[in-house]
Every structure is written in structure tokens, then in C-alpha cells.
Amino acid sequence: MKLLYGTGNPAKLDAMRHRLAGLGIELIGLKDLGGVKQPEIIEDGKTPLENARKKAEAYFNALHMPVFSCDSGLYFDNVAEDDQPGVHVRTVNGKYLSDEEMTAHYAALAEKYGGLTGRYKNAVSLILDADHCYDAMDPSMESAPFRMVSTPHPMSKKGFPLDRLSIDLRTGKYYYDLNEQEAALDQLAVEDGFLQFFERAMEEYHKMERYELRTIRQDEMEQGVAIELACFPPNEACSEKSMRERVQYAPELFLAAVDKETGKIAGTLNGLATNETKFRDAFFDEISLYDPTGENVMLLGLSVLPEYRGQGIARALMEEYSRREQKNGRKQLILTCLQDKVEMYKKMNFRDEGISASTWGGEEWHDMTRKLND
């Protein structure tokens, strides 16, 4: 597979080529496209993941080929929101800073807080085709935490001003004083995180080529009902009436994974939009709570038939659902799950908010949330 890396930086391209060797990917960069017109991209996202998505989508829509883009941001522990750099590492109060100005700004910030602990968070967005898109901003892609101090190292390298202020926590050395082996440790860990992402994505892609992810159709209502009843015990399953109402009144929030070979629905994910921020059991059976303009979605059921499990369908449904609703301007996805499913949803970028007020089915549930712009 030929895959475009949305960067013009040859060093980044070479490093990624080396790390992805063995995955059967022919990696090219923007400079390899020759005179092909490239889109203008305004990186105005609030998070690295938003910017990575913007770039990947722009390149894919303009060039019509598989592509991925990356972005990063700097985040400090225990600082005021106004002092958090995030994706605006070089831009402060609307001004693009020179190396000297950056050094002065961050030295003053470290002085203000008596030193800072920070890390770089990295994100990647991969689009293989219109139906196969994968995003991540996982902890495995983050840099190791480091200490930022107010006293600059006497040495200066053009383009790397913050290394003058950064202390490696493992060695206690300024970044500029690390030897080649010490400096490589963190980079290798970050590269391993990206490798794991691509390994998972490619594995899921090849498995998911068999399936189409799309909105459920009205004539598939009975299949949607049957999957719910087949995948949940009687005390947890939603009623046939409520399932039919979701297909009828909120089909755009009812996603199906359809087996292309048989036309059979292998799995579904459905929910209702709302402006409420706390899950309550009434969402399971009261369609009147559905607000098409709601900024959040209460997810009410993720189901995969037993014979289709183990192929990544559940994750693929969740990622496609998240992309759709992020584009629709939703702020977050909210669901409840049992204790034994908490780790599964964490791997899908949900956060465990603790024991829920829900008593559905007489069970103890956890509230889980996924921000769509993180």
C-alpha cells in the first residue's frame, strides 16, 4: 500500500519509514508529489487530534489517496488554563515567537511556577478510504515527562529553544547535555507508540474490508432489534418497542456494520442526542428525550453478534461513530458499562467517571465519557 505522510519534513519522513518498515507500506511525503497542488490548511484546532484530523482530511479530499497526519502539543501539570501552551507552543497572545522570545517566555513561566513538569502529547489521524479512518492520541505516543526550568542552558540550537530549558528527569541533565543513546530512549518509546497504532489500524483494516459501516435502514429494523436481544441478557436488553423507535426516529444515530458478502448486519451502535450531560435510565426507553440538535450523545447499545466477534468490529463502529458525531459538532459521547467492560472502553478513549446513578437491570454501572475534541 502506498501511503502519504502529510509532512514536508524529510527527517520526520525518514524516521517514520524506518519505524513502519515491515508493515508492507510504501511511505511517501508531500515533496514526493512533485507539482501536484496541495490544499491550504488552517491548523486552528484546539487539540493535537483536531489538527491531525484537519490535515489528514484536507489531504485525502484533495489528493484522493491514503494519508495520515500528525500533530503535537505541549502540556504542563498544574498550571492555569491561560498558561497552558497546548497546540500553541510558539504562538502566545496571537504572536508567533522567535527562538529568543520563546526562551524568555517559557523561562518566565517556569519562574512563575517554581519549575514545571511537562510532556508533549502526540496525535495521528489515518484515512485509508472513506470507510476506514483511524485516530489516536494515546499515552503511548506521549513524550516522557520532563522538567522545565527558568535558567537557560548556555548553548543554543536554532529551532530548538525549549531544549535550553528542559531537564531530563531520568538523568537530571539538560536536553542539550544528553548523549546520543540517552536522547534516543524517549524518541524510541514515542515511535513504538506510533508503530503499535499502525499495526492495530492495518490489522483492523484488513479484517474490516469485508464490512460496510453505514446508517441503518428502515427495512433493517428487525435485524437491529434481534441483535440487541441476542447480545444482552433479558434484564439488560432494551425493549423491542424502544429499539424500533430509535430506528424510526433517530436512524442517523444508529450505525450498522454490514457484512458485504451476505448483507447481514454483524453489529450495531446506537444512541440519542441530548443537551444533558448525565446518563439516566430514561434514555433507554423514552424516545421523547431525543433532541436532534443536542450537543452530546447518550450511547445506548454496542452489539456484535457472537459469530462476528474478535474482528475489531466494535472498535471500528465506535471510531466511525465518533468521527461522524465530531463532524456534526457534538461535544462528547456518554455511556454506562459494567465493571468488566471498563478497560475495553478505556481503550476506545473513554474515561471512567466512577459508579453511575444508573440501576438499569439491577446492575452496578460505570459512567464513561469520551470527549470528541480531545
Q: What is the pLDDT of residues 244-266, one digit of tens each?
A: 999 999 999 999 999 999 999 99
The torsion defined by the Cα of 236, 240, 244 and 245, in degrees rounded to 10, comes to -70
In the chain the beta strands, taken as DSSP E runs, fall at 2-5, 26-29, 67-76, 91-92, 95-96, 116-129, 132-136, 146-148, 166-168, 211-215, 254-259, 265-274, 296-304, 332-337, 351-355, 366-371
Which residue in 217, 372, 218 sits closest to 297, CA to CA? 372
Q: What is the DSSP string of 30-65?
A: GGGGTT----------SSHHHHHHHHHHHHHHHH-S
* pLDDT tens readout for residues 288-308: 999 999 999 999 999 999 999
How far is the C-alpha of 326 from the C-alpha of 332, rounded, in Å? Answer: 8
- Whether residue 242 contacts residue 271, with contact meaning beta carbons closer than 8 Å, is answered with no
Per-10-residue mean pLDDT of the chain, 374 residues long, equals 92 89 92 88 91 95 94 96 94 93 97 96 93 88 95 92 94 92 80 92 86 95 95 95 97 97 97 97 97 98 95 91 93 97 92 96 97 78
Tell me what pLDDT residue 34 has: 86
Tell me what pLDDT residue 374 has: 59
How far is the C-alpha of 80 from the C-alpha of 121, rounded, in Å? Answer: 18
